[in-house]
Amino acid sequence: SFPGQPAITCGDLQTNGFVGSIPADQCERLPNLINEVCGCDPRTPDPTPNPTRPPTPGPTPAPIVARTPEPTPGPTNPPCDICGEDMSMSIGIPDAIVEVPGQPAVTCAELQTEGFAGFIPSRTCDRLPAIVNRVCGCNPPCSVCGDGKEVDFPDAVIEFPGQPAIACGDLQTLGYIGSISDGQCERLPDLINEVCGCDQRTPDPTPNPTR
């Protein structure tokens, strides 16, 4: 305590000094007055912080280089006629579905388009006529009863050895669309005449003359 002043703890006195509540002339005399009671020792310095290591930078990512796609190779095969080069008629049934071993089913027209574009290898093209001839209608038109004749009994059913039964009218249609080869067509009139009734084709009626 100081004469004429209320008692105060050393800590509060130090706080008053820090906040500026003690005049400068009084502050200069205080060390000698309070040293014995308050124990005025040199201030303990703040601990020196350990040095902080800068973060190790991560590896720089390699730049992303856009790859240019490889160009699609063009066809390298010669044009292919799936019906065969010696066929006098093109595809008669373009929407028919044909299945080539090892390939997905496609229509005859689609297969021919691939052939013309050069997407069918030559060795495959050589085998195609035997596979697609009947399905795609690659043969010349055939009159199953013979030239100038047609079936009289289209609903009659005829059977050939090793083949499913077929109506005479359906057989005649197959001939017209090219599904019957020349060699078979030439033999058919003698085989079907009795069942299908092969008569001379009825001529179209002559229209009346217009006046």
pLDDT tens string 151-199:
999 999 999 888 899 999 999 998 888 888 888 889 999 999 999 998 7
Query: So what's the pLDDT on residue 44?
Result: 63
Other CB atoms within a 10 A radius of the CB of residue 194 amount to: 10
Other CB atoms within a 10 A radius of the CB of residue 111 amount to: 26
- Length of the chain measured in residues: 211
Residues 6+ apart with CB under 8 A from 88: 140
- Amino acid at the residue 169: G
Query: So what's the pLDDT on residue 30?
Result: 77
Query: So what's the pLDDT on residue 45?
Result: 63
Nearest to 83 by CA among 108, 110, 114, 120: 108
Cα(34)–Cα(40) distance, integer angstroms? 8
Six-digit token string for 27: 């502050």
Q: Pick out the chain residues at pLDDT < 50.
A: none
